[in-house]
Amino acid sequence: MKLGIVVNEGPYTHEASDTAYNFAVAALEKGHEIFRIFFYHDGVNNATRLMVPPQDDRHIQQKWSELAEKHNLDLVVCIAAAQRRGILDENEMKRQGKDAENLAPGFRISGLGQLIEAGIQCDRLVIFGD
């Protein structure tokens, strides 16, 4: 089955990022296709490669990036939510005249149309948040 996932909560807040990640892993283990994972609202904070959690804690961004690489997942960050929270890729850095970019590997910045498309294309859309 084709599944879409939406993450609306930042990492290390309550549990939404972890629950969404564990759900994604379980779905892939069962042979389902994950069409897209869309990061919206504070969920865009999952995508900063500059997070430095303590060494004995899970590294949520790295877990997403590794999962994306292993399974060729499409991790999409909402552009409007990302701009508000200082999540920039190289293109946005230049466009906004900033001196740094911080988008982690495996993520891409795009618009809400990607969420709508996931809603249309997926058999199920599962939302995780606060």
Partner 1 sequence: MAMLHIVNKSPYETGTLESCLNHAREGDTVLLIEDAVYAAMKGGRAANALSAAKGVKFAALSADLKARGIGEDRIVEGTAVVDYGGFVDLVVANDKTQSWL
CA distance 94 to 53: 28
Is residue 60 close enough to count as binding partner 1 by CB under 8 A?
no
Is residue 95 close enough to count as binding partner 1 by CB under 8 A?
no
Residue 77 CB, shortest distance to partner 1, in Å, is 19
Residue 19 CB, shortest distance to partner 1, in Å, is 6
Is residue 33 close enough to count as binding partner 1 by CB under 8 A?
no
Q: Which of 73, 78, 103, 122 is catalytic?
A: 78
78 belongs to the catalytic site: yes
Closest CA to 81 of 98, 50, 103: 103
The alpha-helical segments, DSSP class H, found in 1-130 are 16-29, 60-71, 79-84, 90-95, 113-121
The residue range among 25-33, 72-80, 91-99, 102-110 that interacts with partner 1, by the rule CB under 8 A, is 25-33
Count other C-beta atoms under 10 Å from residue 97's C-beta.
6
Residue 97 CB, shortest distance to partner 1, in Å, is 35
Contact 107, 65 (CB under 8 A): yes
Contact 32, 125 (CB under 8 A): no
Count other C-beta atoms under 10 Å from residue 92's C-beta.
16
The residue range among 11-19, 48-56, 78-86, 93-101 that interacts with partner 1, by the rule CB under 8 A, is 11-19
Residues that bind partner 1 (CB under 8 A): 1, 3, 8, 14-16, 19, 22-23, 25-27, 29-30, 32, 124-130
- Catalytic machinery residues: 78
